[in-house]
Amino acid sequence: MKRKIENFFKKNNGTAFKSKEIAKRLNLIDPADYTQLKSILHKLYKEDFLLRKGKRFQINLFPDSSKLQGTLQNHPDGYGFVIPKKKKLGDIFISERNIGPSFDGDTVEVVLFAKSKGKNLEGQIINIIERKRKEILGTLHKTKSFYFIIPDDFYLQRDIYIDKANLNEAKEGDKVIVGNIEWDTSMLNPEGVVLEVLGKEGSADVEFTAIARRYNLRTNFPAKVLRETEAIKFNISKEEVKKRMDLRKDIIFTIDPEDAKDYDDALSIKVLENGNFNLGVHIADVSHFVPKGSALDNQARLRGNSVYLVGKVIPMLPEKISNGVCSLIPYEDRFTYSVIFEITQHGKIVKYDIVKSIINSKRRFTYEEVQEIIETGKGDFYKEVIQLNNFAKTLRQKRIAMGSIEFSKPEVVFELDEDGNAIAIIRKEIKESNMLVEEFMLLANKTIARHLFQKKKSNRKSFVYRVHDKPDQEKIEEFSRFVNSLGFTFNKDSFKDSKEIQRLISQVKDLEENAVINELAIRSMAKAVYSNNNIGHFGLGFKYYTHFTSPIRRYADLIVHRLVYTYGQNNSGTDYSLEDLSKICDHISTCERNAVEAERRSVKIKQVDYLKNKIGEEFHAVVSGVTYYGIFIQISSILADGLIRVRDLEGDFYVYDEKKYSLIGKHNNKSYRLGDKLFVKLIRVDADKLELDFITVG
């Protein structure tokens, strides 16, 4: 029996099994055999032949002295995980005492322990192979006897000491860049040298620079890129016009936020003689001005996308292009790429054309102006606006019926003073005018992807898709348990059906729990990425989807424009090899995630800045998370996140119940759980760590 079990694990190298799974695979039906099996598994574990991960066993691939390399990921509670290069091993747990002088993100060498107590392999970091960060951003502080910086990146966890001789004229409260970091033992803090002083913490310009440096965002364009940009001239030659559909006499207009500086999409609609409608989605033809392989193109590829921080934009392309020759400015001729639909009164697409065009926008609308036209039926081009809105509603109903999920993720907008400080935070309201534009962008993107997929499927030409995988079943089951604990129903067994998720989202749309449920639902989803392998878009319920409608701010769209044109000329599309497109997709997906993190931090900084002078004020909030050390809350009016620490919960001793997502009082049985509504008082603001502490009121 023992040899049989040993051979079984050798054949299933590295896979973990429960005892019942092993019995089933080895056809051990007799209860006595099963008892013997469990006894042998225990012996093999004691002999270090097997590792135990919870209730599962797997072969110990490495002896006690084995060393592995991987990347450290720190946890806020002090422990961490090393992600090994050999992915099949799974993450290696590192307790706080075994992390040593390692920063989050470092490439480290680990020695594995023969026996692991938890679900993961366990080890100790014995060597730092390479530091992830050569420089660290933080704020300089001073005690009576020494200086130190608190890193902006909370996951770095250690303050860095600065000798007075290495201050480089930095003063207390300055935001600084520290380098030449030495750290030999976890018993002492790391030491460093101030390399650069950015300025006083809290000022808008300094915080902007700090975010850009932290996320490696390029804020300046190289000289070669600027020279290429200056050489661009907007010439409308007869030869170029002949190559394009001339739509300059048509009623075409843009709809954008009030503070938008670049307009890369426009809409048009008119009635045809047969009673159908001609509906146009017109997108700035950036590819006409940015040739493949130029310095402009290479810089745009490096950046991947524009980044929208609060009060500031880091553009993908220089202003002359993004706000000038490519922006669909009213009353000026502009080159565009148009998707023109013939659509019936009931919203059925009869046919479509994808053409290079030239337009002259007749109006620049804001969302607010269009909303007023929708509500009153009056205003410039009101007939066209109302027709577009009616079609948008029809298309949206059809899309949702086919399985598209309409997440309702609330956002805030900031009112800033002249110095860039937040003086008001307003919860953004999504209205019909916003959804109008979004619906036609979705339609154009879906149409382009389907068109190219069908056109290229015979000879497998490469393309860039926007894909969204089905959610992980384990995450959906966890989400289901949470939702059911709030009194809502969600069928976890239909997790592959986006309609079930949409049913729940619709159910909570107007409730206060809406923001929490939407946020947790989004976290349960896979992340949408760019790929040249089309697997469809689960969240939208589309078999084919790409990004075509924002080439001024997304490199993916610029690539798609080029590919659409190339394939439209019956060319093989070999401008981009499959390998090159695969690299581009990976890179721009990473750039997008990085931009999202930078934008979130920018919002958090402004929220903390706004609240720092409101200590003692009370707010209405919803519980957004529960842990053993406290309750995470979100202020309903401004969506700022904070924490109520267990030590600040008065009147009882509270115990964390993981299954109920609750903190429960040991004596009074009072509970705090996800989704609960509370009144809270702000008691502490830590601008360095961007932390807000609250207590309950009433």
Distance CA 338, CA 688 (A): 48
| Residues in a beta bridge with 309 | 312
Most confident of 97-101, 479-483, 513-517: 97-101
425-438 pLDDT per residue, tens: 999 888 999 999 99
Query: Collapsing DSSP states into helix, strand and coil, what is residue 196?
Result: strand
Express as a percent the part of the chain with pLDDT over 90.
Answer: 58
Residue 556's pLDDT is 97
Q: How many other CB atoms are found less than 10 A from the CB of residue 509?
A: 12
57 with 15: CB under 8 angstroms? no
How far, in whole angstroms, is CA 614 from its chain's centroid? 30
Q: How many other CB atoms are found less than 10 A from the CB of residue 381?
A: 19
Region 98-106: what's the mean pLDDT?
89
Q: Half-sphere exposure of residue 460, counting CA atoms within 13 Å on the CB side?
A: 3
Q: Right CATH number for 2-59 from 1.10.10, 3.30.519, 2.40.50, 1.10.3470?
A: 1.10.10
Q: Same topology for domains 2-59 and 67-130, yes or no?
A: no
CA neighbor of 658 nearest in space, from 474, 473, 476, 485:
485
187-191, 495-499, 508-512, 533-537: least confident range: 495-499
Region 236-264: what's the mean pLDDT?
94
Question: Which of the pair, 610 or 85, is modelled with greater confidence?
Answer: 610
Residue 14's pLDDT is 64
- Long-range contact list for 16-19, CB < 8 A, 24+ apart? 16/53, 16/56, 16/57, 16/58, 17/56, 17/57, 17/58, 18/55, 18/56, 18/57, 19/55, 19/57
Residue 379's pLDDT is 95
Residue 117's pLDDT is 61
CA neighbor of 338 nearest in space, from 223, 461, 248:
248
User: In which element (H, E) is residue 601 found?
Assistant: helix 578-611
Dihedral angle over CA of 611, 612, 614, 618, nearest 10: 60
CA neighbor of 402 nearest in space, from 542, 518, 534, 545:
542
Residue 61's pLDDT is 65
Region 218-230: what's the mean pLDDT?
96
What is residue 470's DSSP assignment? P
Q: In this structure, what token pair is assigned to residue 547?
A: 């990004």
Q: In this structure, what token pair is assigned to residue 351?
A: 């046919």
Q: What do you get for the CA distance between the two ends of the chain, in Å?
A: 64
271-to-249, 342, 393 alpha-carbon distances in Å:
15, 10, 18
253-to-219, 361, 374, 385, 433 alpha-carbon distances in Å:
31, 5, 15, 10, 13
Distance CA 561, CA 314 (A): 22
Residue 87's pLDDT is 66
Cβ contacts of 696 within 8 Å, gap of 6 or more: 644, 649, 678, 679, 680, 681
Distance CA 148, CA 167 (A): 10
Domain ranges of the chain: 2-59, 67-130, 136-201, 223-379, 432-601, 612-696
291-330 pLDDT per residue, tens: 999 999 999 999 999 999 999 999 999 999 999 999 999 9
Residue 30's pLDDT is 87
Residue 114's pLDDT is 63
**Helix 223-230 vs helix 295-303: angle between axes, to the nearest 10 degrees?**
120
Query: Collapsing DSSP states into helix, strand and coil, what is residue 161?
Result: strand
Q: Has residue 583 got a pLDDT over 90?
A: yes
**136-201 CATH:** 2.40.50.700
Distance CA 227, CA 222 (A): 9
Q: In this structure, what token pair is assigned to residue 98?
A: 């075994």
| Residues in a beta bridge with 271 | 277
Q: Has residue 81 got a pLDDT over 60?
A: yes
For 71-131, the DSSP string reads EEEE-TTS-EEEEESSGGG--EEE-GGGT-S--TT-EEEEEE-S--SSSSEEEEEEEEEE-
14-53 pLDDT per residue, tens: 677 889 899 988 988 888 888 899 999 988 887 778 877 6
Express as a percent the part of the chain with pLDDT over 70.
Answer: 94
Q: What is the pTM of this model?
A: 0.83
175 with 203: CB under 8 angstroms? no
Distance CA 512, CA 623 (A): 10
Strand-strand pairing, 277-284 and 265-271: antiparallel
Residues constituting the chain: 698
Mean per-residue pLDDT of the chain: 89
Region 380-399: what's the mean pLDDT?
96
Q: How many helices (H) and strands (E) does the chain have?
A: 16, 34
- Long-range contact list for 288-293, CB < 8 A, 24+ apart? 288/335, 289/232, 289/321, 289/325, 289/326, 290/317, 290/321, 290/558, 292/562, 292/575
pLDDT band, very low/low/confident/very high, at 1 (cuts 50, 70, 90): confident
Most confident of 109-118, 233-242, 564-573: 233-242
Region 647-672: what's the mean pLDDT?
88
Distance CA 464, CA 381 (A): 36
Region 678-693: what's the mean pLDDT?
93
Burial class (CB within 10 angstroms; exposed 0-12, middle 13-18, buried 19+) of 410 = middle
Residue 494's pLDDT is 60
412 with 639: CB under 8 angstroms? yes
Residue 507's pLDDT is 78
Distance CA 622, CA 639 (A): 10
Looking at domain 67-130, its CATH superfamily turns out to be Nucleic acid-binding proteins (2.40.50.140)
1-15, 97-111, 582-596: least confident range: 1-15
Region 421-450: what's the mean pLDDT?
94
User: What would be the CATH architecture of the domain defined by 612-696?
Assistant: Beta Barrel (2.40)
Most confident of 133-147, 574-588, 589-603: 589-603
pLDDT band, very low/low/confident/very high, at 7 (cuts 50, 70, 90): confident
CA neighbor of 530 nearest in space, from 557, 495, 568:
557
* Residue where the block lists tokens 């380098």: 179
Distance CA 34, CA 16 (A): 18
Residue 599's pLDDT is 96
468-510 pLDDT per residue, tens: 998 887 788 888 887 877 777 777 666 567 787 888 888 777 7
Region 237-251: what's the mean pLDDT?
95
Residue 47's pLDDT is 77
> What is the Rg, in whole angstroms, of the alpha carbon atoms belonging to the chain?
29
Residue 155's pLDDT is 79
415 with 423: CB under 8 angstroms? yes
Q: Has residue 372 got a pLDDT over 90?
A: yes
Residue 88's pLDDT is 65
pLDDT band, very low/low/confident/very high, at 460 (cuts 50, 70, 90): low
pLDDT band, very low/low/confident/very high, at 457 (cuts 50, 70, 90): low
